[in-house]
Amino acid sequence: METAEQKSTAFKKISEGKKHNISLYSFIEDWYGTPYRFGGDNRFGIDCSAFTRQLYNDVYNLPIVRTSIEQFTQVERIATSELKEGDLVFFKIHSKRISHVGVYLYDGKFVHASVSQGVVISDLGDAYWTRYYAGGGRMNHI
């Protein structure tokens, strides 16, 4: 569970981000804390790929495919060192195939719909995410 300090830090980073990309960080602020629900696609509950799909639609006006596996097949693969704001980050969590996706922000941070915490900002450098990281990808239209 996210602590009050972590949430406060996240909202400070969201405020900072708004100075550079108001539509992206306003979207994150609006959805922050929305609970996770497998197959969900609304404010009552959303899964990771529906979240990335909604973000791409609302922020970049770019419709993308629905599932994390489909999204993985649609991106140009890029090295972690080349990730930039808006790129997708993929994970294989307890699976041999892609099972989770998020949107890269900056300095190793990414936003995603977490099973345990809902929509949250996490760090690729955390041991958990490092263990399951499968790679980054860029949609050519953003």
Measured CA to CA, the distance from residue 93 to residue 76 in angstroms comes to: 21
Are 119 and 54 contacting, i.e. CB atoms less than 8 angstroms apart? no
Annotated catalytic, 94?
A: no
In 3-state terms, the chain is what percent helix, strand and coil (to 5)?
40, 25, 35
Are 71 and 65 contacting, i.e. CB atoms less than 8 angstroms apart? yes
Are 68 and 50 contacting, i.e. CB atoms less than 8 angstroms apart? no
Annotated catalytic, 100?
A: yes
Q: In this structure, which amino acid lies at residue 68?
A: S
Q: Which of 20, 48, 94, 141 is catalytic?
A: 48
Place of tokens 């996490």: 122
Annotated catalytic, 48?
A: yes
Backbone phi, psi, residue 134, to 5°: -110, -15
Q: In this structure, which amino acid lies at residue 135?
A: G
Q: Which residues are catalytic?
A: 48, 100, 112
